[in-house]
Chain A
């Protein structure tokens, strides 16, 4: 009997906790990218990537963004919506994303008019997408996450552009974050890298809502047994949900998103790629000589060479 009551109280506590904190709404924007691992990639005869034969997967940076969202799911019981713009109806990126962060809703933005978009054309679709998510979840987003960059684009522009379009505070290169639910603020650590200066970690506090572009070095950390246990529970739930991920997908075309034709796709993209050039190979200026470490004569030569080099150096 006593056990029964205590079990009841525990369940009640858990529910209470969840109800109190289910106020955090998160969006993650992700990208389906070519799987660059050996055996999955395929090339055209001219040496360019054969996109139809190459397998696709959730981009590695997008995956880190979904992991960041999972942190809030476990710690604050957040609701997560993952959205992606893609020409593929069967989008396994959304499946992987769902399995990674235990998403509640999946959005796929799919329309022929989206094709040929550069970063700003893409940002417009995703901005509309985030607004659509807010409609679906009947609540404004508190944090929107994106990856640092795409592996097949490498610009790292889309995230900041969505933030700008949505009017959100942009936090880039975030390596860890926490939310104060009562004050409704986020504190985040950002990794700054400047040439010639050791790593700088900047800690900032910002009022919600914010847009976070997550740093590639981000790794969530749960520091108590209870958080670890609930992380394991969410992981299990996520795995099961992801098996039937298709039933969680809402697909939207341009009209449904209410995106303006002139701002999206090829038309909405000011970038024109008129030529792609290889990075020219630098001329080797070193005069390398192969030496055998077991040969004493070679070692002597090396020592002499090092001595000469050192004596020529001017140390200020």
Chain B
């Protein structure tokens, strides 16, 4: 049996950070990734932060990858951060850029497929020096231990092999955690469900529409009627030449009031402000003349496809800041447009161009952090350990995972030096490193300076909107003298007791609607997007279908599964009489149904393959 020092399971940003850090410390590690290439299974909102925290040091992305800011394919540095309260066509906006900038070096929008493959390239270079590297297309099936306490990894694709330690970075639906019994599956109270669409829009149009330059970016958050009465909200982030638009809602609020995830996205897209931001010019082809011979029809179809492809390429080139010779490119574009209209009767209209739909569960770090993030010689990091940060509009996950990965690597390197992989030497030490992390302490203590940013942003809001319950507290907190006292009291209560008070429909739905109605501006749009059907969205995705289903139904006749029929983002479930049936083709591997099913990740290289993520 082959033997290696460390195995990292999962090639997301957290696992890759562990690999990079371990190789930086001169240790051998191999990383196993189920997707056929790194990044193909990753999806994120997403903003990646780099933080400078008052309470301690974290490993930021640019600490691990020194050339990150110069070379990494991140999208845009976010320079505007705005929270919108919506009610029909009325929108009330609050600028929270100060909150976004708070204790941050930067926060940039990212698309995970591209970024994770860049991380992988960097990590591979260093890890290969020590006999390690990345192995894509491998799905871990089980883990056993031999009599020396070494872990044996069994996979669907390659022969079993032995390692001294494991870093489990296999995400929110961590199979490693479940199969070894390190934690039970996250429950609906501990999770958010996020769905996202990626919308294409040329760079220059994004710059103009969002009032930014190519080196700047905007993030917009939404609450109010677009939530359809759920706890959570919508987001819109500018990428280089795409927009990430998504809806993230607490799973238990979705279970209470099930609405299709794609309906939640469509509701956001139909908001007049969003509609106005996403619209673009698109070619509209005429219906082919059916009297023509089949060969002739096919030939015309090919010619049109080629012209539209060229038009897209050249238009994209023309509308980038990097376009060197805009006049000649414009001339080319005009000539193609002329050909399109004159030869094939193509017209131009307004629509929005969706290029990818995706979904993911997100661990609510306030409620599901693993108290003991280790089991025997396995350490859990990032989403697998339930460590996202969601405090109001503070939404962080990627940076936490990267820091966790680095901490796990440090603990494993220390264990390798002493050849001691016991829970007391490896696990406890890692746990201690995690407890010291400001990302952990931040979740336990309310930061009064951070809170002040909101109080300042909301100072003109009439207190009766906030409601009789919060009014007096807010008044107290607005005063510099009393704020400290109130926060001290709040910290004594702790997040556990405060959460049910803060995370309510009132906060995410009623108050924003009130704000929009009383203080909002009317926003109008000439573009009313038609809903894209879920079938159309799924048909644009790439899959490597497995004839074996990775999901097994346990009980086909229960209330939870009936709700899953509605909540599955890929509409894989249907009701047939009393029973629920599953068709696993088209599954996004999100894990929405995992609580009441036997759920595994698909085998190596199988399942969804995100192109953007």
Contact = CB atoms under 8 A, between A and B. Distances in A.
Contacts of B136: 232
Nearest to B134: A232
A229 B306 contact: no
Interface in A210-266: 221-226, 228-229, 232-233, 236
Interface of A: 10, 38-43, 47, 221-226, 228-229, 232-233, 236
A43 B305 contact: no
Given A225-B30, A232-B135, A38 B158 contact: no
A38 B302 contact: yes
Interface residues of B, number: 26
Nearest to B306: A39
Interface string B126-156: 0010011111101000000000000000000
B70 interface: no
Interface string B537-564: 0000000000000000000000000000
B303 interface: yes
A1 to B, nearest CB: 14
Nearest to A42: B306
B131 A10 contact: yes
A226 B309 contact: no
Given A224-B159, A236-B124, A229 B305 contact: no
Contact of A225 (B161, B296, B302, B309): B161
Interface in B268-318: 295-296, 299, 302-303, 305-306, 308-310
B303 A226 contact: no
19 contacts: A38-B305, A38-B309, A42-B302, A42-B306, A43-B299, A43-B303, A47-B296, A221-B157, A223-B158, A224-B2, A224-B158, A224-B159, A224-B161, A225-B135, A225-B161, A229-B128, A229-B131, A233-B128, A233-B133
Contacts of B161: 224-225
Contacts of A42: 302-303, 306
A235 to B, nearest CB: 10
A284 B64 CA distance: 67
Interface in B302-338: 302-303, 305-306, 308-310
A39 B305 contact: yes
Given A40-B306, A43-B303, A236-B124, A229 B158 contact: no
Given A43-B303, A233-B128, 10 more contacts: A39-B306, A42-B302, A42-B306, A221-B157, A224-B159, A225-B2, A225-B30, A228-B138, A232-B124, A233-B133
A225 B305 contact: no
Contacts of A228: 135, 138, 158
Contacts of A225: 2, 4, 30, 135, 158-159, 161
A226 B3 CA distance: 10
A238 to B, nearest CB: 14
A41 B306 contact: yes
Nearest to B133: A229
B266 to A, nearest CB: 26
Contacts of B306: 38-42
Contacts of A39: 305-306, 308-310
Interface of B: 2, 4, 30, 124, 128, 131-136, 138, 157-159, 161, 295-296, 299, 302-303, 305-306, 308-310
A47 B157 CA distance: 47
Contacts of B133: 229, 232-233
Contacts of B303: 42-43
A229 B138 CA distance: 12
A44 to B, nearest CB: 9
A189 B138 CA distance: 24
- Which of A40, A224, A226, A229 has the most chain B CB atoms closer than 10 A to its own CB? A229
A222 B158 contact: yes
Given A223-B159, A228-B158, A41 B302 contact: yes
A224 B132 CA distance: 13
Contacts of A223: 157-159
Contacts of B138: 228
A221 B138 CA distance: 12
A10 B132 CA distance: 13
Contacts of B308: 39
A236 to B, nearest CB: 7
A117 to B, nearest CB: 28
A281 to B, nearest CB: 9
Contacts of A221: 157
Contacts of B4: 225
B124 A47 contact: no
A221 B128 CA distance: 21
A41 B309 CA distance: 12
- Which of A39, A40, A42, A222 has the most chain B CB atoms closer than 10 A to its own CB? A39
A256 B131 CA distance: 44
Contacts of B302: 38, 41-43
B38 to A, nearest CB: 11
Nearest to B313: A39
B444 to A, nearest CB: 40
A228 B296 CA distance: 48
A233 B125 CA distance: 10
Contacts of B305: 38-39
Nearest to A47: B295
Nearest to A232: B133
Contacts of A38: 302, 305-306, 309
Contacts of B296: 47
- Which of B30, B133, B159, B308 has the most chain A CB atoms closer than 10 A to its own CB? B133
- Which of B135, B136, B157, B308 has the most chain A CB atoms closer than 10 A to its own CB? B135
A242 to B, nearest CB: 16
A114 to B, nearest CB: 29
Closest 3 interchain pairs by CB?
Answer: A39-B309, A38-B305, A228-B135
A232 B117 CA distance: 14
Contacts of B132: 229
A43 B304 CA distance: 12
A150 B299 CA distance: 22
Nearest to B125: A236
A124 to B, nearest CB: 35
B132 to A, nearest CB: 8
Nearest to A226: B2
A222 B137 CA distance: 11
A229 B133 CA distance: 6
A38 B302 CA distance: 6
B2 to A, nearest CB: 5
B279 to A, nearest CB: 24
A10 B296 CA distance: 64
A39 to B, nearest CB: 4
B94 to A, nearest CB: 45
A37 to B, nearest CB: 9
